A and B are shown apart, each in its own frame.
Chain A
């Protein structure tokens, strides 16, 4: 079951399944460690939201976060 990232709640952990949108942006996120297959934790939902990805904290806007499809990990 895939969800857009902006539907995740605080504290939930998920694995990134797919990132769509502008190729430049997808590349930029990959540079920051956010890419298909990586694990993330939502620290603070909303816009901008706060994520923990591979030991670092990233913030994204809600509109951009919905381009990221994730698979929740329990």
Chain B
């Protein structure tokens, strides 16, 4: 059985396969990459490099976009 790790994605706890990359998360959640910004543990991530970013236990990912606001 594959080892699992726990991460937080936009504040929600998720259990994912060990050795998942940030790209796997983006693809699985159907995130439109051109319309978002991504933070990993409060550091902004270069969207071009997400295939090379392996996730670790307790990583915190924030994916944000523009919404209506004043």
Pair from one complex: no
| Interface residues of B, Cβ cutoff 8 Å to A | none
- A interface list, Cβ under 8 A from B: none
